[in-house]
Amino acid sequence: MIAKTRFLAASFAFVIAVAPVFAHHSLAMYDMSNPVTVKGEVARLEWTNPHAYLYVNVKDNRGNVEEWVIEIDRPEFLKKNGWTSTTVKAGDIIACTGGRAKTGARTMRCTIVELASGQKLRS
């Protein structure tokens, strides 16, 4: 009986501990099945956990500048894929490809960032 109680307590603790991880990493708000690419000038990079963010000024079809918020992965993942906190700087021209927000907002979950040099980095 004690073993069963310990097993149930451990199972409950595990479920409680991992539930936020699965909830946090949902991509449900993004249309990942229809990727889009936006190109523009980096305004700033927020190198933060749990995700980093790029703020990119993109010209629309009429030439008006719109700020896009580009969500990229956590710094640890980015570092493993060739990034540093200075890979992208304000003023750089980049192209970001990923899933746009389903609401139509100017935000996306980016999977590839292409630098002006043509180098492509997983994001």
Residue 8: the pLDDT is 41
Is the pLDDT at 26 greater than 80? The verdict is no
Q: What's the mean pLDDT when you consider all of the chain?
A: 85
Residue type, 48: T
Q: What is the mean pLDDT of residues 108-113?
A: 97
Residue 121, classed as helix, strand or coil, is strand
Residue 92: the pLDDT is 98
Domain boundaries, the chain: 27-122
**CATH fit for domain 27-122, picks 3.30.930.10, 3.90.1150.10, 3.60.150.10, 2.40.50.140:** 2.40.50.140
Beta strands 65-72 and 107-114: pairing type? Answer: parallel
**Residue 30 near residue 101 (C-beta atoms within 8 A):** yes
Q: For 9-13, 81-85, 109-113, which range has the lowest pLDDT when averaged over its residues?
A: 9-13
**Residue 87 near residue 121 (C-beta atoms within 8 A):** yes
